Amino acid sequence: MNDTPEVAVLRYGHRPGRDDRMTTHVGLTARALGADRVIFPDNAGQSQETVEDITERFGGPFEVELTGQLDATIREWEGSVVHLTMYGERVQDVTGDVRETHREEALLIVVGGEKVPFEVYEEADWNVGVTNQPHSEVAGLAVFLDRLFEGSELERAWKDADQRVIPQERGKRVVDGGDLTEEHGASTNDSGVDGA
């Protein structure tokens, strides 16, 4: 995000049919909250298509990749590795160190989808827990990214969007990407699109 080194999210493991929605949400959360790309297992093609479609419609830049080499991706990563796990160090205790390191080098965030082998815990520079309680890996990723970027990801400008959501107190408003003015992108030329 911006002029900092890359942040990539790796979804470790995917069970087709069972994990489709969760894997897709890992990708959408990575995109919306500041990561530069997501790497899915090679059997998560449906999730790849969905995230690419959202990126095309609502803007980027954001990349989606498939790999059959999850362990090699972690092992050969040129930068630091964070593994999000309920068993890790408390997020509030380590995010400052991660952020400081990320100023100098790329960051890979590993998000488990099924049982993660012990080697991933050993390869990670940080094993990080968000509350050290069982909950969704999507929630953990969202909290971690927000703490990493200190909220700056919420101000991100989306390039080449076909559609843009206009914030409303009530109701929904989505306009064509080209129908925007400077202030909040509001335009009188409403496309009438009801949402994603």
**Hey, CA dihedral for 86, 69, 82, 141, is it positive or negative?**
negative
Whether 66 contacts 37, CB under 8 Å: no
Q: At what angle do helices 45-58 and 20-32 cross, to 10 degrees?
A: 30
Our CA angle for 171, 174, 179, nearest 5°, is 135
Three state DSSP letters for 107-123: EEEEEECCCCCHHHHHH
Which residues belong to the annotated binding site?
84, 112-116
Residues belonging to the binding site for S-adenosyl-L-methionine are: 84, 112-116
